[in-house]
C-alpha cells in the first residue's frame, strides 16, 4: 500500500515546514496527485489519519486535487484532459497523442496556525 508511504511523506514535509515557520499546528494540507500515480483517495485519507497521529498535523485536513493526462490534438491544436482512456478530441473527433501531465505528486500548500501576537491567525505556508 504505497498510500501510507505517501501519507507519511506528506505529514513529515508539512510538520517540518510548520516547525520552520513556528506554527503551532497544521490545519490543512493541499496536494495535487495525477491519475498515473494510481493513488486511491480513500486509502490515502485513511493512511493520512494514521500517519498524522502525534504530529503537528494531528487534527489537519487533507485536500486532494486530481490531475489528468492531457493530450494535444495535432489537427485542431486543442488541448484536453484524457478521462477514461478516451483519446478522442472533443473538439474535432480526431485520435490524439502528445501527452503531458497526470504524474504529479505535489504538496501545494499548508495551512497552519502560528504563535505570535496575532495568536489564532491562520497562515498559508508554501511547501
Residue-range domain boundaries for the chain: 2-68+103-119
Whose CA is closest to 31, among 65, 73, 60, 72? 65
- The whole-number pLDDT of residue 124 equals 55
The DSSP letter of residue 37 is G
- The whole-number pLDDT of residue 127 equals 47
* pLDDT tens per residue, range 58-93: 999 999 999 999 999 989 989 999 988 888 999 999
Which CATH number does the domain 2-68+103-119 belong to among 3.40.50.720, 3.30.2320.50, 3.40.50.2000, 1.10.3720.10?
A: 3.30.2320.50
Q: How far apart, in whole angstroms, are the C-alpha atoms of residue 37 and residue 11?
A: 18
C-alpha cell belonging to residue 82: 484524457
- Quick check: pTM over 0.75? yes
Amino acid at each position: 500500500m504505497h498510500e501510507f508511504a505517501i501519507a507519511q511523506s506528506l505529514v513529515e514535509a508539512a510538520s517540518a515546514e510548520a516547525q520552520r515557520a513556528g506554527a503551532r499546528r497544521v490545519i490543512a494540507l493541499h496536494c495535487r496527485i495525477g491519475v498515473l500515480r494510481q493513488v486511491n483517495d480513500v486509502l490515502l485519507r485513511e493512511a493520512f489519519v494514521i500517519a498524522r497521529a502525534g504530529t503537528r498535523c494531528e487534527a489537519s485536513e487533507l485536500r486532494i486535487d486530481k490531475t489528468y493526462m492531457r493530450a494535444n490534438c495535432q489537427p485542431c491544436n486543442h488541448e484536453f484532459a484524457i478521462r477514461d482512456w478516451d483519446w478522442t478530441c472533443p473538439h474535432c473527433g480526431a485520435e490524439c497523442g502528445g501527452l503531458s501531465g497526470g504524474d504529479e505528486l505535489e504538496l501545494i500548500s499548508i495551512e497552519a496556525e502560528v504563535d505570535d501576537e496575532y495568536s489564532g491567525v491562520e497562515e498559508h505556508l508554501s511547501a
